[in-house]
Structure 1
Amino acid sequence: MDGDEEEVEEGAPAWMATFADMMSLLLTFFVLLLSFANMDVVEFRTMMGSVREAFGVQFESPGDFQTRSDTPVSVAPGGSPTDPSVLPQAPTLALAARVRERLRQQGLEEVVDVEVTDRGVALRVRDAVLFDVGSDHLKDESLPILTRIAELSTEFTQELAIEGHTDDRPIHTSRFPSNWELSAARATAVLRYLQTTGLHPEAMSIAGYAETRPIADNQTDDGRSQNRRVEFVFTRPPEPDSEGTRAAAATDAQGDQPG
């Protein structure tokens, strides 16, 4: 009877089932991460462009092409088209990632927000962390935070712009006739403390913007709290393709034309 039994072919190795389960779980995990993420399309495209340039990866198949784009493309004289939303921001996004990681290591991710702006990477600290209401005197508990930000700034070569902001509620005291004086005085107080940590003043600048640059709704308490802040902006270095460079290139191109 045993000789009549058909021989059953051996299937896939047992480890394949475990491997398939693991891949399914990883796929589910990343899908959940993506669903919870606040996706910024411009930043996503910027990062993809940076990766593509660094590794020579082609994300689209050769047969795929885009027939229409709303993104303006600039062409330098004698050069090739460049996408302004990708090239200028790729280094800035890399800097923002490094700043976020350093803040996490220093335990400051709960009190310092990091944002990518058109000027560079901004670290936002609410005024309640640094000052009492209507004051430009730094709280004692704010000094360790500022010291860590100073240590962080020494790791980067960008100029540090310190900017004071307020909400839209007016102030009128003998020391601060308006929010302009208050915001500027707070930025100055921060700069003077950073100088004591060893930062050179020529690497820093200050500005007070009063209530003119809100980031939230001033009609709510939380919105006003977000608007009362000090920003530390690691400014983006000048682009090689600046207005002056383009003008010089255009002049050279005209000079090369036969008279």
Structure 2
Amino acid sequence: MARRRQNTEEHENLERWMVSYADFVTLLFAFFVVMYAISSVNEGKYKELSAAVISAFRDGSITPTVLQQTGQAANSMVAIEDPKTIAEHVKSNTEIERQERIARLNRALLAALDPLVKTGQVKVTQDKFSIAVEINDSALFESGRALPRGMSADILGQVGQILANDDHPVRVEGFSDNIPISTALYPSNWELSAARAGSIVRLFQESGVPPARLVAIGRAETRPISDNQTAEGRAKNRRVAISILLDRRNDSSVPIDALSSVDRSE
């Protein structure tokens, strides 16, 4: 009887580890269930939230929404402010920053061109679409020449450095009066006006303006702003116009007349 009782106790002791093992497995299973419940995300609601934010910043075309995520362990509510209001606010700030940057560019150009502005040889104007710098040819070139001279070359170099820190397209146009020219270098006013515009574009490029932003156009006598019948009128017609195009819809390679096709009522 003693020997049989001893065998029974030994058998019971050998199987006690299964109880602890079962408890451990149960706890491990519970742990992973809790972890899954915490990390579970409603994918449909997440995609809806993502689409709403993207749409708000793109065009502000969606309506206010309240999204709810539900899990076994926790509930949370995410309230979204009116996306249209957010989009309008972002656009408003962007436009304000753009206008401030354009104003700084205009002031910098006026400061660089001040010596020529004071003598009446340069006029700087600005509208919604461009900053226009109009320079009398007598301030830049000798008669029948296309290379900027003396102080004017230094001033244009400063203008080029200012434009190098900007990112708008730049168009340079050369204009002449109706008096014909015929030299070995310039058989007509077309070649002379184009060469003058090209020399300024080259100077801007040397100052750091990327070539892709630049274009040179020769207009000859085709765009007079004054009467060519008088010496004073012809002097006004001989000029160079530098246009910094602020409207992105107008590429720098588009002729100036193309601006009239843009809806300026916007």
TM-score (structure 1 length as normaliser): 0.51
User: Which runs of no fewer than 5 residues in structure 1 stay unpaired?
Assistant: 1-89, 241-245, 247-259
User: Which runs of no fewer than 5 residues in structure 2 stay unpaired?
Assistant: 1-95, 251-262
**Contact 1:161/1:234 (<8 A) preserved:** yes
Measured after TM superposition, the shift of residue 124 of structure 1 is 0.8
Q: For 2:217, give the aligned amino acid.
A: A
**Structure 1 residues 135 and 209, CA gap change in structure 2 (3 angstroms):** same
Alignment of 1:77-226 (within 5 A): 98-106=104-112, 107-108=114-115, 109-110=117-118, 111-116=121-126, 120-226=130-236
Measured after TM superposition, the shift of residue 112 of structure 1 is 2.3
Measured after TM superposition, the shift of residue 202 of structure 1 is 1.2
**Structure 1 residues 225 and 99, CA gap change in structure 2 (3 angstroms):** farther
Distance between the aligned counterparts of 1:220 and 1:114, measured in 2?
Answer: 25
**Structure 1 residues 141 and 105, CA gap change in structure 2 (3 angstroms):** closer
Structure that is richer in helix per residue = 2
Distance between the aligned counterparts of 1:170 and 1:118, measured in 2?
Answer: 36
Bigger relative CO (Cα 8 Å, ≥ 6 apart) = 1
1:61-113 CA-partner distances (Å, limit 9, x unpaired): xxxxxxxxxxxxxxxxxxxxxxxxxxxxx999988754543244332433421
Distance between the aligned counterparts of 2:148 and 2:104, measured in 1?
Answer: 27
Secondary structure of 1:209 counterpart: strand
Distance between the aligned counterparts of 2:166 and 2:175, measured in 1?
Answer: 24
Secondary structure of 1:145 counterpart: helix
**Contact 2:161/2:208 (<8 A) preserved:** no
Measured after TM superposition, the shift of residue 115 of structure 1 is 2.9
**Structure 1 residues 96 and 208, CA gap change in structure 2 (3 angstroms):** farther
Q: Please report the RMSD computed on the Cα atoms of aligned residues, expressed in angstroms.
A: 3.0
**Contact 2:178/2:228 (<8 A) preserved:** yes
Q: How many pairs does the alignment contain?
A: 152
Measured after TM superposition, the shift of residue 156 of structure 1 is 3.0
Measured after TM superposition, the shift of residue 121 of structure 1 is 2.0
1:154-199 CA-partner distances (Å, limit 9, x unpaired): 3432101111111111111222111101000111111122222122
**Structure 1 residues 235 and 100, CA gap change in structure 2 (3 angstroms):** closer
Distance between the aligned counterparts of 1:197 and 1:230, measured in 2?
Answer: 18
Distance between the aligned counterparts of 1:221 and 1:91, measured in 2?
Answer: 45
**Structure 1 residues 103 and 198, CA gap change in structure 2 (3 angstroms):** closer
| Residue identity (%) | 34
Distance between the aligned counterparts of 2:206 and 2:249, measured in 1?
Answer: 32
